[in-house]
Amino acid sequence: MDESSTGDFLPLSLNRSIAEFPIGNLPLAEHHRALGLPDGVVLHPHAWIVPSEMLAFLQGGEASMRDAAGHLLASRTSGNTGEFLASASFLIRYPWDLIRANELHVSSLTDAVIEGDVHPSAVVEGVIHLGAGSRLLPGVFIEGNVVIGSNCKIGPNCYIRGHTSIGDRCHIGQSVEIKNCLILSRTNVGHLSYVGDSVLGEGVNFGAGTTTSNLRHDGANHRSMVAGGLIDTGRRKFGAIVGDGVHTGIHTSIYPGRKMWPGTTTLPAGIVRHDLVC
């Protein structure tokens, strides 16, 4: 199958392929392998597949599976000429599609896996996966399902809301609120910041008081610049897409739906009104 344009996935495609991108701390390609598909079934390398829909596709005998937008997600070499139309599975084409995939995966978790340490004053209301060597410090409040990798420091006194995944060796610190985000390894959001409905790459450092805005005043869907044109993201709440190694100065404010290229920086009290391209 032809892959979707990597240009549509900028700036995240500059450092890794879509298939390598971690969703719930597992690369998309590993999610594909976990489906345990029989021989003869071919997946698009950028497809996000809901397991129940794949099961229905396999049992139904159709020759292909497409998402609601008509993108081909899977096909098989033998089968009838029918086509299975998926309602929840979809093709990951744009960076904000990762947020949708992460929401679906993390919200589906049913069993807690706690290999790290949880302080007695931390509160967890939901299903949490906590990696080895990670610590939830005093005053942490986790609401909803959250995945946290290994050797992370979470807290003290921070609020993490559901459908969030955090990679390895991250620090989410004092008075920070994280909501519905996908955060890669070695990233620090140390204190007094809000990050919502966003993707943060590896090795990002948010200065104190960095805030992502995620809601338009008129409540309409956010649009984002792709290849010189504005694309409707389909998202009413959408924060920022932040590439690897981005550093922000203290009190940086980021407009909704803005993208920051790897290695870019802001000055203290900076305002990111447009995509920040290096």
Strand, helix or coil for residue 25: coil
Inside any domain, residue 119: yes
Q: For residue 240, what are the β-bridge partners?
A: 258
- What does the pLDDT average to over 179-194? 97
Task: Please report the pLDDT score of residue 5 as a whole number.
Answer: 54
Q: Per-residue confidence at 81, pLDDT binned at 50, 70, 90?
A: confident
The answer, yes or no, to whether residue 247 has pLDDT greater than 90, is yes
* Cβ-based neighbours of 242, under 8 Å, separated by 6 or more: 198, 199, 200, 201, 204, 259, 260
CA atoms of 238 and 122, how far apart (whole Å): 28
Tokens representing residue 144 in the block: 């909803």
84 is in which domain, residue-wise?
6-93
| Total domain count, the chain | 2
Question: Which listed residue (105, 129, 191, 222) is catalytic?
Answer: 191
191 is catalytic: yes
Phi-psi region of 42 (alpha: psi -120 to 50; beta: other; left: phi over 0): beta
Q: Both 118 and 32 in a single domain?
A: no
d(CA 209, CA 182): 19
* Tokens read off for 135: 């610590």
* Same domain as 190, residue 58: no
Q: Both 143 and 268 in a single domain?
A: yes
Q: Is residue 69 part of a domain?
A: yes
Domain check: are 139 and 267 in the same one?
Answer: yes
Express each pLDDT in 51-74 by its tens digit. 999 999 999 889 999 999 999 999
Which CATH number covers residue 120?
2.160.10.10
pLDDT at residue number 204? 98
The three-class DSSP label of residue 33 is: helix
Residues 206 and 177 occupy one common structural domain: yes
Q: Which helix (H) or strand (E) holds 226?
A: strand 223-226
